[in-house]
Amino acid sequence: MKEKNNDTAFFGQPKGLSTLFFTEMWERFSYYGMRAILLFYMYYAVSKGGLGMNQTTAASVMSIYGSLVYLSNIVGGWLSDRVWGPRKTVFIGGVLIMFGHIVLSLPMGLIALYASIALIVAGTGLLKPNVSDMVGGLYSENDRRRDAGFSMFVFGINLGSAISPILVPWAANGFGIHMFGNEMNFHAGFSLAAIGMFFGLMQYYFGGKKYLSNDSLLPTDPIDHDSLIKILKKSAVAVIAVIVLLVIMAACGQLNIANVILLITIVAILLPIYLFVVMLRSKKVTKIEHSRVLAYIPLFIAAAVFWGIEESGSVVLALFAQERTVLHIGSWHFAAANFQTLNPLFIMILTPFFVWLWSKWKKQPSAAGKFSWGLIFAGLSYVVMAVPGLLYGTAGRVSPFWLVGSWFIVEIGEMLISPIGLSVTTKLAPAAYSSQMMSMWFLADAAGQAINSQIVKYFSTGTEIQYFLIIGGVSILLGLLMFFLVKKIDGLMAGVH
Ligand code: ASP
């Protein structure tokens, strides 16, 4: 423990933070780089290097894919706690992710797309919750560097996420030398994502051996043989039930992408409801903890709505960039996919300001108050996007600054929701369910994107004004409603700030 506290080799932080920082930086590099071009890969015509899918189906797949990536965290957290320990779980996850990108880099069409989604969903579920968990494990309970350590880690996430939407589309576009003529070669882009994950894995493997504690090789709550058999039996029943359901759907002629997406949407909404009920009814949860779980429900709903809007940046705003935006400023030309860099870029710019603000502002709003504002900013970022259509009609192209402005506003909202939510989640967690609560945080994002998978179908140039106004309006209204609940929620939090 002593050694843990004395290690200040990485900007005053333990050297293990550098290993985890670069692992997550490269993993997010590969994920967001891939997503920046995936939408276009799916719906571009085959003659342009795409898969020729219907555009609305492609948008739906993007959202449900994003949802699954966070849904699978539940399994990854469990496997680490009970079977493999975080260090090994993260490594296995990274390998699956790398293969997911390699599969997409091969010209194998739809089969490769689905195989890649399966690999990356499984891999991210194993990697993402556990790499963050290990960051917490670098510090003893009262190490004052903990918050700063997490801020640096989040910076790493956004650094990777900001670079790849520039580099990956550049590779897909022929490296600036028209290597593939005027066509796109999406596979070259996906290869770059795979290479990024490879770098991440290498430095994780070698850095981990040197700088991560041996505790991380062990599960915290190892499962005994009997419980394992029980779980395996239950999982087998679940898998068989899913197969039977799919067979019945096929027999009724209902087995299609839209229905599978609908099924996943239902699971993504029911799962957190089920987990809330389990926690609220559990005998292991004390009275105060019970009240805190109740306080978490409105925060969870607000987070789901927020992430729904934020995550639609790689779907709805990406379509707006491609179809409705002038893709140059003067002689500087860029690709629609490059806009994905704005979200993480604004996070990096805004973070120092918010860190300063929270340290100075004595009477700052509570977590619930900040969430209310977060919803209002998210809603405003959508309302702004209705303006160009209202002013100039929805037929032509408009200035890229509309999108820049919209992302700037939603990222102010993200500063009010993401770091606050992460920290409040750990504080409101009942002791018996601490890792489950962490997964709950990601389930809010999963639920938001699942809802997106159903509503993005209604987005088109013909409906953009209504789409942005209605969803933006709902978010603003919920934000206002939450203001009235702030006192009540603060009371239920029972001393947590
Ligand atoms: N805002 C996302 C995440 O924090 C990054 C992205 O969408 O590129 O961190």
pLDDT tens profile 284-329: 999 999 999 999 999 999 999 999 999 999 999 999 999 999 999 9
Query: Cα(32) to centroid of ligand 1, in Å?
Result: 8
* 161 CB within 6 A, ligand 1: yes
Is the pLDDT score of 162 beyond 80?
Answer: yes
pLDDT tens figures, 397-453: 999 999 999 999 999 999 999 989 988 898 898 988 888 888 899 999 999 999 999
Of ligand 1's listed atoms, the one at least distance from the Cα of 162 is: 8
Q: How crowded is residue 364: how many other Cβ atoms within 10 Å of its Cβ? A: 12
Pocket of ligand 1 contains residue 162 by CB under 6 Å: no
Pocket flag, ligand 1, residue 307 (CB < 6 Å): no
Give the closest residue (by CA) to ligand 1 atom 5: 344
Q: How far is residue 93's CA from residue 86's CA, in Å, rounded to a whole number?
A: 10
Q: Which of 124, 127, 122 is nearest to 88 (CA)?
A: 127
157 pocket-lining for ligand 1 (C-beta < 6 Å): yes
- For residue 343, the CA-to-ligand 1 centroid distance in Å is 6
Per-residue pLDDT at 6: 67
Distance 30 CA to ligand 1 centre (A): 13
Question: Among 38, 155, 158, which residue has the most ligand 1 atoms within 8 Å of its CB, making it the best to mutate?
Answer: 158
Residue ranges of alpha helices (H) inside 393-463 are: 401-428, 434-455
What confidence score (pLDDT) does residue 143 get? Answer: 82
30 lines ligand 1 (CB under 6 A): no
Question: For residue 121, how many other CB atoms are within 10 A of its CB?
Answer: 21
The answer, yes or no, to whether any atom of ligand 1 lies below 6 A from the CB of 410, is: no
Using CA atoms, how far apart are residues 147 and 423, in angstroms rounded to an integer?
9
Q: Write down the mean pLDDT value for the chain.
A: 94
Q: What is the pLDDT of residue 2?
A: 42
Residues 6+ apart with CB under 8 A from 71: 121, 125, 264, 267, 268, 271, 443, 446
Residue with tokens 């629609």: 336
Per the model's pLDDT, the better-predicted residue between 275 and 147 turns out to be 275
Task: Please write the tens of the pLDDT for every residue from 473-490.
Answer: 999 999 999 999 999 999
Q: Which helix (H) or strand (E) holds 223?
A: none
The pLDDT, as a whole number, for residue 5 is 53
Task: Categorize the per-residue pLDDT at 1 as very low, low, confident or very high, splitting at 50, 70 and 90.
Answer: very low
In sequence order, which residues have a C-beta less than 8 Å from that of residue 170 and are 6 or more positions away? Answer: 176
Between the CA of 472 and the centroid of ligand 1 the distance, in Å, is 20
In the predicted structure, residue 4 carries a pLDDT above the cut 60: no
Decide if pLDDT at 52 tops 70: yes
Q: Is 120 in the pocket of ligand 1 (CB under 6 A)?
A: no
For ligand 1, whether the C-beta of 139 sits within 6 Å is: no
